[in-house]
Every structure is written in C-alpha cells, then in structure tokens.
Amino acid sequence: MVMTIDVGNTNITVGVFQEDDLEASFRMTTKMPRTSDEYGMLIITLLEQNQIHHEEIEDTIIASVVPNVMHSLEGAIIKYLGIKPILVETGIKTGIRVVTDNPRQIGADRIVDAAAAYGLYGGPVLVLDFGTATTYDLIDRNGSFLSGVTAPGIRISAKALWEDAAKLPEIEIRKPDSILGKDTITSMQAGLIYGQIGQTEYIIKKTVEEAALGPVKVVATGGLGRIIANETKLIDVYDPNLTLKGMNLIYKKQNRKSGRLRR
C-alpha cells in the first residue's frame, strides 16, 4: 500500500491506496504544533482505526505547502514507518510541464491537482480547488500548466466578515434557502455562498474565453467545493479526493517499488 499525505494550510489529509483504489482517508489539523513522535503515533493510530496495520504501508509520498511542519512529519514517517518519503518538489516526475513565468512559485498542491485532473480527465482542463484559498489552474491538451488564479477561500472571506465587523457573528457556512436574506445570519450566508458562485462562474468563463483552447473540462475539489459545484452547470466534475489521487498518480511515475529503509 502507498500512503499519500497532502499538507495544506488548514488540514493534513492522508490517503492509503492499494493500486488505484483509495482504501482509507483521514485528516489531522495542520496548525497544531506536533513533534515527530506525536505525528508518528497519531498516524499509526488513525491507520489502525481504518483497519490498516502500519507495516502494510510500503511507501509514502508527501505534498506540502507548509514548510514548518515538514521536519517533524518527515521524521515521523522515517522513525515509525521505516520509510523515506518521496516529496513533491522541483525535479520530480509529475506529467505536468509548468510554462508560467516563475514555475518555482507554483505550489506542490496545485501541481498535484493539475496532474490528477489531466491524468484522469485529459486536457485542456481547468481545475478548481476550494481550500483555504480558492485556486483555478489551466492545463492544456499537452499537459502544460498555463496559468493560475488565486482568490480568498470561502472560510477566509467568512472569517474576515466576523473578525473585522464588530457586530457580525461567527456563522455556519451553508447555502441559505434563498438569496433574499431575512436576518444577519442568512444575509451573510447568502453573500458568502452566492458571491462564491458568481466569482466561480465568472472566472471559469473568462479563463476559457481568453485561453481560446476550445472546450475545456472543469474539475473541482476541496472541502467546500461540493456546495458550489451543486449550484453551477459550469463545473463538470466534483471529486473530493482529487488531490490524493494526483499524488498516487505522481507516485507511480517515480517507478519506486518500496521506500522502506534497511534496518
């Protein structure tokens, strides 16, 4: 089995694959500082909770946009699983060629999403990730990463509302029954969700128009992506496990049978 670890700004998402099948997935918070021992024990416990013994893990691949957790996390994988993990970084085989002005500025998570969307659905493809930030990345039919748009995520926008406006409360992020808000909470929910739908549709249309690549497949992922995908016909596919699948695809390109270290 191969363990994929996606280190995002809010959560660390872990997937366990048997070939192409995602056997289990679980999350840990990113912002809580942990030692390598804490990471190691937590990962082993969560694997066991999913009926997977840690010795069944033959290899691991990590994509991270949070550098300050990597020392402890990588150390945990080495110490507790006996595996030297593959890191998604410059020089690794991904199947994606970045042709932007500053390729090194493209985050590992975006490369992984691009690899997944292109590998699973072909190109040209526009991949949307509704995470801490909402990102829109365009890949052409040859697997070239052409451009990207970065916007505040829904949670960031919500947090700005209730932290910077003294009389606005912290609310549940959900789609209200109507855009016609009748109180403070539903008016905020309407602004957040319908505002995100409008932003999403405009950026998709403008990207497809200016790129002039012909028909473009639109694939979305990310925790709150389902809410938006359900409200627009411009998103063709919503895949909550897109990033984990992309890491598994990238792992296969490395042609490494096992990352186990000799004891």
**Where residue 216 sits, what CATH number does that domain have?**
3.30.420.40
Distance CA 222, CA 200 (A): 14
**Domain end marker among 65, 87, 109:** 87
| Coil, helix or strand at residue 139 | strand
In a domain, 184, yes or no: yes
In a domain, 51, yes or no: yes
Residues 69 and 105 reside in one and the same domain: no
pLDDT of residue 111: 94
Residues 9 and 83 reside in one and the same domain: yes
- Around Cβ 12, how many Cβ atoms within 10 Å? 23
| Coil, helix or strand at residue 256 | coil
Residues 237 and 126 reside in one and the same domain: yes
In a domain, 262, yes or no: no
CA separation, residue 114 to residues 62, 210, 214 (Å): 16, 19, 18
**Domain end marker among 87, 120, 138:** 87
pLDDT of residue 262: 62
In the chain, the largest separation of any two C-alpha atoms, in whole Å, equals 65
Residues 111 and 232 reside in one and the same domain: yes
In a domain, 254, yes or no: no
In a domain, 253, yes or no: no
Tell me if 134 sits within 8 A of 156, measured CB to CB: no
Tens of pLDDT along the chain (263 residues) come to 999 999 998 899 999 999 999 999 999 999 778 999 999 999 999 999 999 999 999 999 999 999 999 999 999 999 999 999 999 988 889 999 988 777 777 888 999 999 999 999 999 999 999 988 999 999 999 999 999 999 999 989 998 988 888 788 888 888 999 999 889 999 999 999 999 999 999 999 999 999 999 999 999 999 889 999 999 999 999 999 999 999 999 999 998 877 777 65
Residues 14 and 140 reside in one and the same domain: no
pLDDT of residue 221: 96
Q: Where in the sequence numbering do the catalytic residues fall?
A: 109
Residues 155 and 195 reside in one and the same domain: yes
CA separation, residue 253 to residues 11, 92, 95, 119, 124 (Å): 26, 9, 8, 11, 21
Residues 150 and 180 reside in one and the same domain: yes
Domain count, the chain: 2
Range of the domain at 72: 2-87
Residues 122 and 152 reside in one and the same domain: yes
Tell me if 177 sits within 8 A of 187, measured CB to CB: no
